[in-house]
Structure 1
Amino acid sequence: MKYETIDELMDKAYQAEGKTFGELDNTGRIKKIKSKGTLGHIIEESFFGYSVNSIAEPDFVELGVELKVTPIKKNKNGTLSSKERLVLNIIDYMKEFELTFETSSFYTKANKMLIMLYQYEKEQSLGDYRILKVFLNEFSEEDLAVIQRDWEIIVTKIKNGEAHLISEADTMYLSACTKGANKDSVRKQPFSPLKAKQRAFALKASYMTGIIRKQLTPDHLESLSTHQELKEKTLEQILQERFKPHYGKRIDQLCREVGIPYNSRNKSMVPHIMTKLLGVKKNNLSDIEEFAKANITFKTVSLEPNGSLREHMSFKNIDFKTFLHEDWEESELYELFAGQKFLFLVFRYTEEHQPKVKRIPYFEGIKLWNMPQKTIEEELYGLWNEIGDVLRYGVKLTIIGSKTYNNLPGPKFNNLCHVRPKAKDSKDKVKLPDGQYITKQCYWLDKQYVLSILDK
């Protein structure tokens, strides 16, 4: 069926709101499918009445509108977020570099999207999933400026013969995610004899969460920058400009300037200060629209007077329940670094460390960073693989005096990343796959590797 106008198409689409896939299905397909990936096919065939296809053009060609059916989930704190990235089209490395952004396969496909949101429930049958919201998405000028720069970053890597080094964390909103049956799904690239993983353009889950919250909840995120700023500068340049006047100031001085009580034990103090320095009303960096959409999280780095670090950098605790059941590219560790950017907030002490003596650091600078794909596929994969081997054979726990040691990969493993405890105390333990209990373990980046990031 053809739709003459976008209004006519949307009038039809709105009729799906509040209905389940079982109610929308008139072909009986819902009883046969086992994957949520084919839920979109029910909407295409049963509801809109056109055949499933994989053409490069938008689904409703005459209107230039692409149809996307995508899940959302309710978080433990009651907020809603996108369950996954929104995958668009496979990237043809041999052709994409010849196009402009306006003629690119991404923009042609996704300039206008009819998005249908349904709520994912783990224990619910596919036929009971319900369409919550239908809307026509057209990118704002601010978002489009960022997305165009993302596309240019991806295409520049193709032109440089580095399609095999593309990483999702290279970009802010638009990513190039791996798309294939397995790691052997590769394609030719034009300027290198090396084959690159098959990838597709996708809107990051974090970006989709920002879109979803604007549609479904009244608490909008606060934007940091204007369209003109995002067109002329990168986000890191904008951040540097906002923060630079405050470099060299002690953190208690910054507290006084922004009207926040200084309390070294208050973990929310630093992000609260930073949002005030950026000139936004929100109290957390994660509430800034550009940070939320680009999946940027912050990490505080405290340098010693000589520029060294006393400690390695911790991330999240290992989930031993799921570790051995995850494939590498769907693993918790891969997602932690492949799909996320980090804003390092760098502070420096002027006094040498002394036990039990409080020191107040100075704000020295920032660094926006993501782990290179080559590092992810080599050293980070090596850590994940080693952890898996140790867990499969059984962790060896050795008690020496009052301390318990294990054979998980430690600080000397590969000079990049390792595993070590991060717990409230020695009684704060988790169960291993072999039934033993171990003090909670965490992923850490080696302090020398962190320093090398800051040096660059």
Structure 2
Amino acid sequence: MTTVTPPQSIEQLLERAEKLAGKSLAQLAEEFRAQLPDHLLLEKGWIGQFIEHLLGATSGSLPQPDFPELGVELKTIPINPLGKPLESTFVSVVNLHQPASEQWETSIVKKKLEHVLWMPIIVHPNSPLNQRIIGMPLLWRPSADEWQILKNDWEETMEKVCLGKFGQLNARFGQALQVRPKAANSKVLTDVVGSDGEITQTLPRGFYLRSSFTQKVLTQLSYS
């Protein structure tokens, strides 16, 4: 695959992203000599990783924004032709082992969401993977109201983790940040401290932005 150097400024990053808009994954794979997977069942994160590479992201899987020098996180998001997000957006894993040491101001969630480059991926019904189209990129910084919602969801989550109330961290929990299992399957468990202070096991969890929240964000950005 063609090597891409890291962008030197947010303007250069946005310029690169805008040049991808309107192109299909098949066109980009041919242009940058990449091998498209047949499907995403075993390579769910492939599209995000591919776009990261095309834009010159350097962070990889480290707990920091994808473009650490610029303080920008890249989020690819599949949408239907009407602009509706098709799934929630992963942000970071939930710290289940040392929750008392976590603070919102220094949390990975806050760092990753301080400045986001949204890259919509337009998915037409029943279309193959290679025909998905890159939409126009959108830069987002959360408003004061959005930050407050995110902070409340995060703090309430970490409070339940500290109390060992893992059963309450279900898909209905959280207004903007949804907490969902983050594991290959239901057999992947991790040791945690339960509500009775004893060691128990639970599924790893991840923070995800709800699709209802991201739709509001994308709509506001599109009309701003």
What TM-score does the superposition give when structure 2 sets the normalisation length?
A: 0.86
Aligned to 2:220: 214
Within 5 Å, which residues of 2 pair with 1:228-307?
Answer: none
Cα offset for 1:24?
Answer: 1.9
Aligned to 1:391: none
Instruction: Please list the CA deviations of residues 335-358 of structure 1 after superposition, one character each: whole Å capped at 9, or x if unmatched.
Output: xxxxxxxxxxxxxxxxxxxxxxxx
Instruction: Please list the CA deviations of residues 283-333 of structure 1 after superposition, one character each: whole Å capped at 9, or x if unmatched.
Output: xxxxxxxxxxxxxxxxxxxxxxxxxxxxxxxxxxxxxxxxxxxxxxxxxxx
Which deviates more from structure 2 when the two are superposed, residues 186-195 or residues 197-206? 186-195
1:18 aligned onto 2:37 = no
Cα offset for 1:206?
Answer: 1.0
Determine the C-alpha separation between the residues in 2 that align with 1:4 and 1:57: 17
* Residue 213 to residue 50, structure 1, CA distance change in 2 (3 Å): closer
1:135 aligned onto 2:141 = no
Cα offset for 1:168?
Answer: 2.9
Determine the C-alpha separation between the residues in 2 that align with 1:86 and 1:152: 19
Identity of aligned residues (%): 23
* Residue 52 to residue 106, structure 1, CA distance change in 2 (3 Å): closer
* Residue 80 to residue 48, structure 1, CA distance change in 2 (3 Å): closer
Residue aligned with 1:114, SS? strand
* Residue 201 to residue 52, structure 1, CA distance change in 2 (3 Å): same
User: Across the two proteins, how many residue pairs are aligned to each other?
Assistant: 212
Contact 1:82 1:212 in 2 (8 A): no
Aligned to 1:62: 69
Instruction: Please list the CA deviations of residues 99-118 of structure 1 after superposition, one character each: whole Å capped at 9, or x if unmatched.
Output: 21111121122221111001
Residue aligned with 2:80, SS? strand
Structure 1 vs Structure 2 CA RMSD: 2.1
Determine the C-alpha separation between the residues in 1 that align with 2:60 and 2:127: 28
Instruction: Please list the CA deviations of residues 172-198 of structure 1 after superposition, one character each: whole Å capped at 9, or x if unmatched.
Output: 111211111222222222454222221
* 2:109 aligned residue (101, 106, 111): 106
Determine the C-alpha separation between the residues in 2 that align with 1:62 and 1:51: 9
Residue aligned with 2:64, SS? coil
Amino acid in structure 2 at the alignment position of 1:20:
S
Residue aligned with 1:133, SS? coil
Aligned to 2:200: 194
Aligned to 2:83: 80
Which deviates more from structure 2 when the two are superposed, residues 9-18 or residues 138-147? 9-18
Aligned to 1:44: 52
Q: Which protein is richer in strand relative to its size?
A: 1
1:53 aligned onto 2:57 = no
Determine the C-alpha separation between the residues in 1 that align with 2:221 and 2:113: 18
Residue aligned with 2:106, SS? coil
Which deviates more from structure 2 when the two are superposed, residues 114-123 or residues 149-158? 114-123
Determine the C-alpha separation between the residues in 2 that align with 1:203 and 1:50: 21
* 2:39 aligned residue (17, 34, 55): 34
Determine the C-alpha separation between the residues in 2 that align with 1:202 and 1:8: 28
Aligned to 1:5: 9
Contact 2:7 2:56 in 1 (8 A): no
Contact 1:24 1:42 in 2 (8 A): no
Determine the C-alpha separation between the residues in 2 that align with 1:143 and 1:51: 27
Residue aligned with 1:161, SS? coil
Determine the C-alpha separation between the residues in 2 that align with 1:50 and 1:65: 10
Amino acid in structure 1 at the alignment position of 2:45:
G
Contact 1:163 1:196 in 2 (8 A): yes
Determine the C-alpha separation between the residues in 1 that align with 2:64 and 2:139: 17
Contact 1:164 1:194 in 2 (8 A): no
Question: Segments of 4+ in structure 1 off by > 6 A?
Answer: none
* Residue 198 to residue 55, structure 1, CA distance change in 2 (3 Å): same
Amino acid in structure 1 at the alignment position of 2:213:
Y
* 2:184 aligned residue (174, 181, 184): 181
Amino acid in structure 1 at the alignment position of 2:100:
F
What TM-score does the superposition give when structure 1 sets the normalisation length?
A: 0.44
Contact 1:164 1:197 in 2 (8 A): no
Residue aligned with 2:148, SS? helix
Structure 1 residues not aligned, in runs of 5+ = 221-456
Q: Greater CA radius of gyration, 1 or 2?
A: 1
Amino acid in structure 2 at the alignment position of 1:53:
G
Determine the C-alpha separation between the residues in 1 that align with 2:200 and 2:55: 42
Determine the C-alpha separation between the residues in 2 that align with 1:162 and 1:205: 25
* 1:204 aligned residue (210, 216, 221): 210
Contact 2:113 2:142 in 1 (8 A): no
Within 5 Å, which residues of 2 pair with 1:313-392?
Answer: none
1:156 aligned onto 2:159 = yes
Residue aligned with 1:82, SS? coil
Cα offset for 1:51?
Answer: 6.4
Q: Which has the higher contact order (CA 8 A, sep 6+)?
A: 2
